[in-house]
Amino acid sequence: MRPSVRAAFGLVLFAGSLGAATPGVDPALMDRTVAPTRDFYRFANGAFDAQPIPPERSSSGVNLEIDNRNRAILKEIAETCAREAAAEGTPAQRIRDFYLSGMDQAAIDKAGVEPLAPTLKAIAAARTPADLAVLMGRLSRMGVTAGFAFGVEQDPKSSRTHLPAVSQGGLGLPEREFYFRQDPTTRDQRAAYVKHIARMFELAGVRPGPAARVLALETRLARVSRKLVDLRDPEANYHKLDRAAVAAAAPGFPWAAWYRAVELPATEPYLDLGQPEYVRGLGRLLHQVPVADWKAYLTYRLLSTLAPYLGSGLEAEDFAFYGKKLTGSQEMRPRWERVLGVVDAGIGEDLGQLYVQRAFSPQAKAKVQEMVKFHLEALRASIRRATWMGEATKLQALKKLDSLNAKVGYPDAWRDYRTMGLKAQPFVLNVLAARAFETRRALAKLGRPVDPGDWEMSPQTNNAYYNPCLNEIVLPAGILQPPFFDERADDASNYGELASTIGHELLHGFDDQGSQFDAEGNMRNWWTPEDRKAYEAQTEAVVRQYEAYEPFPGVHVQGRQTLGENLADIGGLKISLEAWKLASAGKPQATVDGLTPEQRFFVGFAQSWRTNMRPELERTILQSDVHCPPRLRVTGPVAALPEFRAAFPGAPADRKASDAQFTLW
């Protein structure tokens, strides 16, 4: 299961905002001419709608306000390291060499694709399906997904052990349905994609074959791929097989050659074949599709993945399609910002050690830990009073809640990158060194117990996640920043602003996916049949609620595709409200700026999603993401909660939600 993200389309794209200096709820953002029961998002954020979107962004809003603050700190760290001498093997040395190699545009342009020459030569030399399988394994070790994705995961049914896993992947368009929809926008995107591939080949000075054949091959891969909604069923996407069973399940794929190329230890007997029919189809296509077409596909996957590090021409072309065409951005972000993002992805905990010293005080960590405690208390009370759930299921739910671990801020022990091999060399080689390090680190986990102290995100990341196999929520210091969390703000504001972080991640443990994992993190049914039926009846109401939303003519929210995130949004908001009430019990409460404490909580929640978004990005999110666009992440949850209508009396906030009175938690 992927970690949940606040930032849609897998990117943090939101820009600076009005009222940034105001702790907590900011009345300057509101439009009080709009009735809160008619359009609560505009009531809370209407004054922000006039905020322009910078040309280098696809949207403008609260998240980039935090990102900009975080990046300013990280930039100061990187530039300080770049100016000063540092001992070999230290975080400062790695930060210096990685950052400087990325900032040397002249050297990057001079090197071009030459650092990839051995790999491009190997692709050009391929003759057989076994050769292609070797190349897929080799590219995987470089962090390039081609054919299918490979990684090491916790075994969903034996959560304290690791398991190598393959899953469908390697498509260049955002999601399977982009290859098959026949609306004018999608047809135009496919045509632009073919031109983009041809231009990438031209800029790289390679001639592996017509670009249209890459689209044709990817379309055949997409045809045997599962839809995004079908990937959300953990049980249906788990197939732990030994090597003989893998070969029998997908006989057309040259497994022995691939095992050697990816360097999977022979002592590791099992593989999780996430979508067997996909790998079966891939095996057939290796024999049915001309090798020349496969070589064109593999060449494009290599160039596309590494384009941002190969010179200004390839980087600009990559941005023209994936930035401009698919998300509406008009300009690339500044060089330092792009490079800093790569350094952060490669050696995030090196940067993190220095970041937390500047940006996350012990007092802030203690306050957030206290907020988590009240959220746990609120959810515990909600489970106990649930009338639809029997005692046997309640016992298991409470056991899971009591076993949940909350990581706040940063790891207890920092990752050691000394074997990564970063040095003064072409930028792409440092990128590949970082990717190879991660591959080695993942493979080294096999045969070892799971480390409960490991983090999937760096401390400076503006994001958070729930890991079902560890039954943990992880809240990095980077998201625990104003305005999401401000030590100067009142509790109503802080609990409302963090409802989409603490409450949301906590409720992922009980959404349609997380609820399939038990207290130990194992995928196991702990529900009675009656209680599961009652649970699913309420989730169906949420599906109907969201499918009624139509942001563009003929483009509706995919209710099942987004169900887990919508459940976490609604349930997280409800539990955060109850957590705030527990935290503020016995404390004096006042009306401020004409808003009652309850109203400040809900307005704080809405302001935590303030976003102006280009239509290209919003459409892409609707068609390829498990999250809704930000405005619906406000209007959908408040529409489903009677507590909102108690705070803002009046007509129903959203008649589409009239059958979705959310009482699960």
Q: What percent of the chain has pLDDT over 70?
A: 95
Q: Is 50 exceeded by the pLDDT of residue 594? A: yes
Do 518 and 647 fall within a single domain?
yes
Residues 6+ apart with CB under 8 A from 598: 492, 577, 643, 646, 647
Do 498 and 581 fall within a single domain?
yes
Do 298 and 384 fall within a single domain?
no
Residue finishing a domain among 309, 325, 348: 309
Domain for residue 353, yes or no? no
**pLDDT band at residue 501, thresholds of 50, 70 and 90?**
very high
Domain for residue 642, yes or no? yes
Q: What is the tens place of the pLDDT at every residue in 24-34? A: 999 999 999 99
Range of the domain at 171: 145-309
Residue finishing a domain among 309, 324, 353: 309
Q: Which pLDDT score is estimated for 23? A: 84
Domain for residue 555, yes or no? yes
Do 69 and 160 fall within a single domain?
no
Structural domains in the chain (count): 2
Provide mean pLDDT across the span 57-64: 92
Provide mean pLDDT across the span 413-426: 95
Domain CATH number, residue 498: 3.40.390.10
Do 171 and 62 fall within a single domain?
no
Domain for residue 339, yes or no? no
CA distance 579 to 576: 5
Domain for residue 490, yes or no? yes
Q: What is the tens place of the pLDDT at every residue in 437-495? A: 999 999 999 999 999 999 999 999 999 999 999 999 999 999 999 999 998 899 999 99
Q: Which of 120-129, 511-520, 648-657 has the lowest mean pLDDT?
A: 648-657
Q: Is 80 exceeded by the pLDDT of residue 262? A: yes
Do 556 and 475 fall within a single domain?
yes
Do 265 and 378 fall within a single domain?
no
Do 62 and 186 fall within a single domain?
no
Q: Is 80 exceeded by the pLDDT of residue 528? A: yes
Do 499 and 630 fall within a single domain?
yes
Domain for residue 382, yes or no? yes
Strands (DSSP E) along 335-448, which ranges? 405-409
Q: What is the tens place of the pLDDT at every residue in 390-410? A: 999 999 999 999 999 999 999
- First vs last Cα of the chain: how many Å apart? 22
Mean per-residue pLDDT over the chain, rounded:
93
Q: Which pLDDT score is estimated for 664? A: 73
3 state DSSP class of 464: coil
Do 162 and 282 fall within a single domain?
yes
| Buried/exposed code over 469-497 (b: 16+ C-beta within 10 A; e: otherwise) | bbbbbbbbbbbbbbbbbbeebbbbbbbbb
CA distance 336 to 68: 12
- Say which amino acid occupies 20: A
Provide mean pLDDT across the span 261-282: 96
Provide mean pLDDT across the span 241-266: 96
Q: Is 70 exceeded by the pLDDT of residue 339? A: yes
Q: Which pLDDT score is estimated for 650? A: 78
> What's the helix, strand, coil split of the chain in %, to 5?
55, 10, 35
Provide mean pLDDT across the span 42-59: 94
Do 406 and 283 fall within a single domain?
no
Domain CATH number, residue 190: 1.10.1380.10
3 state DSSP class of 240: strand
Do 64 and 175 fall within a single domain?
no
**Predicted structure pTM score:** 0.93
Provide mean pLDDT across the span 365-369: 96
Residues 6+ apart with CB under 8 A from 405: 452, 470, 471, 472, 473
Domain for residue 422, yes or no? no
Domain for residue 263, yes or no? yes
Q: Which pLDDT score is estimated for 636? A: 96
Residues 6+ apart with CB under 8 A from 102: 108, 309, 335, 338, 339, 342, 343, 427, 430
**pLDDT band at residue 652, thresholds of 50, 70 and 90?**
low
Residue finishing a domain among 291, 309, 327: 309
Q: Which pLDDT score is estimated for 21? A: 52
Residues 6+ apart with CB under 8 A from 97: 422, 423, 424, 430
